[in-house]
Chain A
Amino acid sequence: MKKILALVLAMMLALGCVAFAEGASPAGGKTFTAGATTGFFGAESLDVAAGWDGWIMSIYGISENLFRLDENYVPQPWIAESYENVDELTWKFTIREGVTFSNGNPVDAAAVKACFERTYQINDRAASTLDIASMEADGQVLTLVTATPNPTVINDLCDPLMGIYDASQEPDPELGVACTGPFIATAFTAMTEVSMVANENYWGGRPLVDNVELKIIDDNEALNMALQNGEIDLIAQLPAAGTAVFADAEGIVMDAKTSTRANFLCYDQNRPLVQDQALRDAIGMCIDREAFAEVVYNGYATASYGVYPASLPYGSTDGFELKVTGYDPEGAAALLAENGYEDTDGDGILEKDGQAVSLKLITYSYNNQCIQLADMLQAELAGIGVDVQIETMDVLDDTVAADDFDFAVMNYAMAPTGSAQYLISMLFESASSGNVAHYSNEKVDELSNQLKATFDEDERIAIAKSVCEQVVNDRVYDFVCHQQLICAYSDKVTGFVVNPTEYYLITNTIDIAE
């Protein structure tokens, strides 16, 4: 009997330890809880300047920028009240009066300048985001001079890497830098969870909820059940398989907006087999884009035959002469036969100039939709005699850098700042380090440079569309579908708006009925 008593005591002791660990829980008031996978919520620190963490902090509602993109990807004033484009290189921003950092320090032009200076020193992505030549601070007016004429300065300032924080203070090892957003972090565990309280002095009005808890849950079905169970109030960037669970669920609202995120194929031009345009076109014809969007994304995606989604002004394929317009495996087989592909040794795999057409396909191990596209491709291409070996990995960078793949299924946000230039500079310019396929088309390079110096909006759209037509028909990058950003939330949640940019989630207007 004594032993049982001891056991009970030991258990109570252990539970006591847990209760102690729980001490950090919110003090009271309304709490809003949201969950997402690592891809959407995973920050390594709360320092805007570190890696991609600024992006996540903007999602958290901690950091804010000078400008904010609205639902149509148009920048609107945020911490900056207004701006003036003095000449091609010079921009003047008036910082909103009365905005303070969460530590109480006021936000003025000098603070913004110091913040950008620190970010540029720490993060090498900053210079390629916006090439600043010099800055000058005078009261609330910040004068910014770019190194070259740049028509997209305002869009670039929407990139969360350009988030505003107090650079005069050393970042806290756990809670990072002080920002201006509606919520302030009180506890943070990297890649796991963050607890926040309302910023009482938020310039845009006190947030309607008192506490926000954000949790990373990587098992998709666990994430769904957490919402069904009422443990979380919202799932941000709901994985596509979950849409079926919530389609007719009572008390849960699903809201989706076409984002600029796309699944695309990318063919490494340093590898001989996929240098052949005919093979790339044939593969393009073997993708059942409509079925992929309809089934794998449960309709929360749109098949693509161009580059950008049609929701963007430069997104349509009207007037393009397209080589691939639908799913046509017979056509693909015929195209390959025409171009000298033949199965000479009878092993079911085609050969070209004596070499078997066996391709290595890589994709992300955590992206189920990309994996399913890879599976579809593998089976479809086996049907026309093209052998595909799939390898999945968490990070593609090393394999891509080593040219150890023929093609890849990738997933990017293509115009997060609303500007067409973002993707063109990153992916299509032959000299760009982000051009992982080593795609090179002189005309594209020329058009891209032209786009960089053009300020007229209509002209910019025309140039961007010309780039798209080149890219689509070269098919070194083949865009398969444009997906929607889906959020599922309890019907008790009010004041929540899905913003397709993926930059914003938590705002001061979110409220939850008791």
Chain B
Amino acid sequence: MRKFLRNLAQTLILIVGITFLSFTLSYLSPGDPAQQMLKRSGMMVTEETLQKARHELGLDQPMLVQYGLWLRNLVKGDMGTSVKSRKAVALELGKRLPNTALLAVVSMLLVIAISTPVGLLCAWWKDGPLDNAFRFVTYLFASLPSFFISLIMMYVLSLRLKWFPVIGSVSVKGIVMPALVLSLTLSAWYIRQVRAIVLREMEKGYIDGLMSRGLSTGSILFRHVLRNCMVPLVTLFGISIGNLMGGATIVESIFSWPGVGKLAVDSITARDYPMIQGYVVWMALIFLAINFLVDLSYRFLDPRIRKGA
């Protein structure tokens, strides 16, 4: 329990840090919000009206006070107004977040479904033909920009083989390509990590014992080794969620997937700072929450940690 509370306190400090860093970023952004507000409302921009608007927006306050005001609004769910669509940032993000979440969940499940068995098998037959083949493939995927991979896969899988549609509409058919690209690029990294974790586990003596007892390879790998690797694998999961969120920006915009990643990319080209800021804060907080859950899950996965607490 004490450990849990300490975790919570640390998380709170992190939240303050995350919001402060996000705030500082847009504090440094070019452009004067007061001027933008005046222009939007069609008022004359004079030095006098500017001063007034700055005062109303609290822009004449010291930075820390401004941060406090901003944080208070953030807690209330008010993240400002998008410069581009003139709608509330929270509303726009909220509308598209389920799409990104859906894409992320499907991709992550695919990643686990692909990487765990492949990683295990590559480790088992270390340096064998399967391992070498996958080493080459994963290396190729890990050494090319994701937009290039997206387009090549679109060209091969959609245009040439006609397996999946190009357009990523929110439907069973439409989710395949973006989820596949995301999960394959991430799997390239994941397989190597799983392989390394399993190799480390296999250095332990018990495998020989199990083999001598006549257990099948499959049973040893999937029942014993996999179970013992659960904690590092879950940690891996926590880290890779961040990669997934980052990768989603590019993949979503190529496949026209209506998620927050595409929204962020559109906002960057439009220099829509409130939207970029809102996006960054949300993504960081979600990432943090997921990792907090991952931390919690250790207690259930590994009895040693539970006892130690």
**Does B149 count as interface, using CB distance less than 8 angstroms?**
no
What is the bound-complex CA distance between A217 and B254, given in angstroms? 8
Q: Is there contact, CB below 8 Å, between B256 and A44?
A: no
Q: Is there contact, CB below 8 Å, between B159 and A228?
A: yes
- Given A15-B106, A44-B85, A366-B269, check contact A225 B170 (CB 8 Å): no
What is the bound-complex CA distance between A18 and B85, given in angstroms? 27
Binds A, one of B13-21, B150-158, B240-248: B150-158
User: How far apart are A102's CB and chain B's nearest CB, in angstroms?
Assistant: 25
- Given A192-B256, A219-B253, A222-B154, check contact A124 B42 (CB 8 Å): yes
- Given A11-B109, A219-B254, check contact A18 B171 (CB 8 Å): yes
What is the bound-complex CA distance between A401 and B40, given in angstroms? 13
What is the bound-complex CA distance between A222 and B39, given in angstroms? 36
- What are the residues of chain A within 8 A of B112 when measuring CB–CB? 7
What is the bound-complex CA distance between A232 and B253, given in angstroms? 18
Classify chain A's interface size.
35 or more
Q: Which residues in window 118-139 of B have CB below 8 A to A?
A: none
User: How far apart are A39's CB and chain B's nearest CB, in angstroms?
Assistant: 12
**Does B258 count as interface, using CB distance less than 8 angstroms?**
yes
**Does B166 count as interface, using CB distance less than 8 angstroms?**
yes
Task: Kindly identify which residue among A7, A17, A222, A226 contacts B113, using a CB–CB cutoff of 8 Å.
Answer: A7
Q: Which residues in window 180-221 of B have CB below 8 A to A?
A: none
Q: Is there contact, CB below 8 Å, between A18 and B175?
A: yes
Task: Kindly identify which residue among A3, A193, A226 contacts B166, using a CB–CB cutoff of 8 Å.
Answer: A226
What is the bound-complex CA distance between A34 and B169, given in angstroms? 14
- What are the residues of chain B within 8 A of A21 when measuring CB–CB? 102, 170-171
- What are the residues of chain A within 8 A of B266 when measuring CB–CB? 191
- What are the residues of chain B within 8 A of A17 when measuring CB–CB? 102
Task: Kindly identify which residue among A4, A22, A229, A401 contacts B172, using a CB–CB cutoff of 8 Å.
Answer: A22
Task: Kindly identify which residue among A190, A217, A221, A228 contacts B167, using a CB–CB cutoff of 8 Å.
Answer: A217
Q: Is there contact, CB below 8 Å, between A25 and B171?
A: yes
- What are the residues of chain A within 8 A of B69 when measuring CB–CB? none
What is the bound-complex CA distance between A217 and B105, given in angstroms? 24
What is the bound-complex CA distance between A144 and B99, given in angstroms? 48
In the complex, what residue of chain A is closest to B35 when comparing beta carbons?
A398
**Does B9 count as interface, using CB distance less than 8 angstroms?**
no
- Given A21-B170, A22-B170, A228-B159, check contact A221 B113 (CB 8 Å): no
- What are the residues of chain A within 8 A of B109 when measuring CB–CB? 7, 10-11, 14
Task: Kindly identify which residue among B102, B166, B226, B271 contacts A394, using a CB–CB cutoff of 8 Å.
Answer: B271
- What are the residues of chain A within 8 A of B105 when measuring CB–CB? 14
- What are the residues of chain B within 8 A of A15 when measuring CB–CB? 106, 172
Interface positions of B (Cβ within 8 A of A): 31, 39, 42, 85, 102, 105-106, 109-110, 112-113, 151, 154-155, 158-159, 162, 165-167, 169-172, 175, 222, 226, 253-256, 258, 266, 269-271
A selection of 19 A-B contacts at a CB cut-off of 8 Å is: A4-B222, A14-B102, A14-B106, A18-B175, A21-B102, A22-B170, A22-B172, A35-B167, A190-B85, A215-B167, A215-B169, A217-B167, A219-B151, A222-B256, A225-B155, A366-B269, A394-B271, A395-B270, A395-B271
